[in-house]
Structure formats: structure tokens, C-alpha cells
């Protein structure tokens, strides 16, 4: 009898990734990164976007300003492409002076406003409270400038049909239509994060040495891939995503937006995460996360530590495991970010 799961397990085992890290020295690590990062950007479709949009300069517009008490929340839009108007919330701490650190908090399969602390239903309020999902609010209360962007394919960036049917996302539409022109949902979302950084550096004068990304689930996906591709991101904290491709999205029915054509012919997820080294990386996982099983997380983290060891910074990556399921665990984020931001300031 044909067993589809066994068939793909066999394929995963027999695939030999071109950039599986096997080095031990800093020189080997550096050569590996220089070769792998361009190939990853190519696989994501970012090179196609960069070529097509080489002469384009994004513009932003503020729509609304709200005093929330201990911070100010602003509603903005940024045209990351001529045809893509990306909404985002900008949260400002009151009374802050000088160049502020910047935290970007891409969300997962949640409504975009959740991360800005906006609950429009009792269920959303519960999600925020029990899952610690008001991540941009947490960031601004740490004294950071926070951007809570709409993850492309959600909210106002859904296709018209999905908006009319009130579907959560347009992830499948993005995947299948984008493939026709060499794009992927992950690549488009990484592109958006980089354009938001461009804007924040130019318009808000943020500290270029203190930029971090953190998000849960699909937001963890964006955080990991964006930090792997954009070296301006000083600290990355992906939550409830880091695992192995084979043990997570390759073994269950998952959202279409997770899939990058041929990614396992390049490397496993720990190889992608290794492109963040030597920059600090905190992996957050849930002990009972059924989507990204903890045994595969630990396996991938052991391999990731070898990459950080070869880079000479083994202590710059950590694994924080929360005693629960698929949610955010802020204890794995803010102490880690604060420590490395303070180190960056002291080192200048």
C-alpha cells in the first residue's frame, strides 16, 4: 500500500542539502555564510523583487494618532511596492529621548491589531492575555520604539474575495500566484520587514545598532528568515517556529505560506538560523507545541549551537522553553534583548 507520509520521510532523509553546515572554524563559517545567504534570498524570491523594484522608493503616510496612556499608538501605511500598501502600527514610548532601539513584531495567523494590544472581541482579549500576544505593547513598555506591521496576506492586504468571505488570510493565493513570477509569501514578508527598517532609519532616526525582530508562529517564521537575510537586524527572537522542516511543516497539514520551493535542497532550518550568527538569537518554544514538536526543536538547536560555536559566539544563542503550547513567552524575549542591546551600547 502506498503511504504518502513514509514516501516524504524517505525523500527528506535522502536529500543532501547543498549548504548543510559541517565546518568547525570561523573561516569555514564565514565562507559558508557568504555562499549560502545569496542562495537563500534567491530561493525566497527576494532577488527577483530587488531587481524589479531597484528604482522604487517606498513612501509612508500617517493616518491616525491615539494616546493609550503610557504610550502613543499611530496608524501608518507604507507602500513597500507601488501596488502594496502595508498598514502598520507605530508605538512610541512617552518621554523618550535620543535614538531609540527599534522592535519589529510581525504577527502570525492572528488579526494584525492583536500585537498592538487591540482586542475587538472577548476571544481576542483572551488570546492576548493567555498567550502574551500584545508583543508590540510589551516592547514599547520596555522603552523601545515598536512597529507592529500587518503581515502581508492578512488584514487589509488580503485578496478581495478573502476579505468578502472574512477569511483570516490570503496565504494560499499569495503562494500559488506568486510562484508564477518567482516569489514566495515568506520572501514578500521579509521584503516588507526590510522596507520598514529602511523607513524607520530614515524617518524616525532609530539606533541602527539596536534593531530586533520578534513574533510568534508565522511571526516567528518572518523573524527567522528576515534576520537570516537582513544583517541590519541585530537581535532575533522567533517564537514557536524554529524546529526542523522535516519534523514540522514537512510532516503535517500546515498553512501554504510556510513552503519555500526546494528549501531542503539548500539546508535545514538550523542552517537558515545559522545565517543569523554571530548576531544574538533567542529561540522560544512551547514544551507542548504540537505544530513544532519540542524533540525536533531540541535536535535542531543542538545543530544550531555548533554553527554558533564555529562562529566563536556559542553563548549568543539560547533556547527558552515555555511550559505550555503554541503561544508567545515574553520571558524568553525581553531579558535577552535588553542584555544584548546594553552590550551593543557599551561596545560603542
- What residue spans define the domains of the chain? 23-346
Q: What is the pLDDT of residues 265-309, one digit of tens each?
A: 999 999 999 999 999 999 999 999 999 999 999 999 999 999 999
**Res 230: pLDDT:** 98
Q: Going edge to edge, which strands form the sheet with 211-216? A: 60-67, 71-81, 84-93, 145-149, 102-104, 211-216, 235-239, 281-286, 317-322
What is the C-alpha to C-alpha distance for residues 240 and 218, in angstroms, rounded to an integer?
8
CA dist., res. 143 & res. 332, Å (int): 17
Could you tell me the sign of the dihedral formed by the alpha carbons of 131, 133, 135, 138, in that order? Answer: negative
What are the grid coordinates assigned to 85, written together? Answer: 500598501
Whether 166 and 55 have beta carbons less than 8 Å apart is answered as no
The fraction of the chain above a pLDDT of 90, given in percent, is 97
Which pLDDT value is given to residue 1?
Answer: 86
pLDDT at 95: 86
- How far, in Å, are 110, 124, 125, 256 from residue 105 at the CA level? 12, 17, 18, 21
pLDDT at 253 over 80: yes
Q: Is the pLDDT of residue 346 over 90?
A: no
CATH of 23-346 among 3.40.50.1820, 3.40.395.10, 3.40.710.10, 3.40.50.300: 3.40.50.1820
* Residue 146 near residue 106, CB atoms below 8 Å: no
pLDDT, tens only, 170-203: 999 999 999 999 999 999 999 999 999 999 999 9
CB 310 within 8 A of CB 25: yes
Helices (H) and strands (E) in the chain, counts: 13, 9
Q: How far apart are CA 163 and CA 168, in angstroms?
A: 8
Mind listing the pLDDT tens digit for each residue in 87-115? 999 999 998 888 999 999 999 999 999 99
C-alpha span between 231 and 196 (Å, rounded): 14
Q: Which pLDDT score, from 0 to 100, does residue 134 have?
A: 98
What are the beta bridge partners of residue 298?
Answer: none
The per-residue pLDDT for 257 is: 97
- At 96 the pLDDT is 83
At 124-166, the pLDDT tens digits run 999 999 999 999 999 999 999 999 999 999 999 999 999 999 9
pLDDT of 298:
98
Tell which phi-psi region holds residue 292, choosing left (phi > 0), alpha (psi between -120 and 50) or beta.
beta
Q: What pLDDT band is residue 348 in, cutting at 50, 70 and 90?
A: confident
Cα separation, 110 vs 119, in Å, equals 11
> Residue 68 — very low, low, confident or very high, per pLDDT cuts 50/70/90?
very high
pLDDT band of residue 347 (cuts 50, 70, 90) is confident
Amino acid at each position: 500500500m502506498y503511504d504518502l507520509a513514509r514516501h516524504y520521510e524517505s525523500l527528506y532523509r535522502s536529500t543532501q542539502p547543498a549548504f548543510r553546515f559541517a565546518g568547525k572554524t570561523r573561516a569555514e563559517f564565514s565562507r559558508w555564510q557568504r555562499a549560502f545567504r545569496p542562495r537563500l534570498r534567491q530561493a525566497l524570491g527576494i532577488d527577483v523583487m530587488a531587481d524589479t523594484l531597484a528604482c522604487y522608493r517606498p513612501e509612508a503616510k500617517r493616518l491616525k494618532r491615539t494616546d493609550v496612556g503610557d504610550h502613543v499608538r499611530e496608524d501608518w501605511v507604507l507602500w513597500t511596492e507601488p501596488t502594496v500598501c502595508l498598514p502598520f502600527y507605530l508605538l512610541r514610548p512617552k518621554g523618550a529621548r535620543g535614538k531609540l532601539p527599534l522592535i519589529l513584531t510581525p504577527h502570525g495567523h492572528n488579526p494584525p491589531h492583536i500585537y498592538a494590544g487591540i482586542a475587538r472581541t472577548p476571544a481576542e482579549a483572551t488570546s492576548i492575555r493567555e498567550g502574551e500576544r500584545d508583543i508590540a505593547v510589551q516592547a514599547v513598555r520596555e522603552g523601545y520604539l515598536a512597529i507592529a506591521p500587518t503581515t502581508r496576506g492578512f488584514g487589509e492586504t488580503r485578496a478581495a474575495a478573502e476579505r468578502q468571505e472574512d477569511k483570516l488570510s490570503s496565504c494560499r493565493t499569495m503562494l500559488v500566484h506568486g510562484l508564477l513570477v518567482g516569489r514566495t509569501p515568506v520572501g514578500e514578508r521579509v521584503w516588507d520587514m526590510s522596507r520598514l527598517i529602511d523607513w524607520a532609519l530614515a524617518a524616525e532616526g532609530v539606533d541602527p545598532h539596536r534593531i530586533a525582530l520578534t513574533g510568534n508562529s508565522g511571526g516567528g517564521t518572518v523573524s527567522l528568515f528576515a534576520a537570516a537575510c537582513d544583517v541590519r537586524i541585530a537581535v532575533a527572537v522567533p517564537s514557536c517556529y524554529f524546529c526542523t522542516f522535516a519534523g514540522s511543516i514537512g510532516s503535517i497539514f500546515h498553512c501554504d505560506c510556510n513552503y519555500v520551493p526546494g528549501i531542503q535542497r539548500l539546508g535545514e532550518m538550523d542552517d537558515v538560523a545559522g545565517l543569523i550568527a554571530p548576531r544574538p538569537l533567542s529561540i522560544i518554544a512551547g514544551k507542548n507545541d504540537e505544530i513544532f514538536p519540542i524533540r525536533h526543536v531540541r535536535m535542531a538547536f543542538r545543530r544550531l549551537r555548533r554553527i554558533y560555536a564555529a562562529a566563536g559566539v556559542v553563548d549568543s544563542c539560547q533556547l527558552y522553553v515555555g511550559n505550555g503550547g503554541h503561544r508567545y513567552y515574553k520571558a524568553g524575549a525581553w531579558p535577552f534583548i535588553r542584555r544584548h542591546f546594553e552590550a551593543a551600547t557599551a561596545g560603542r
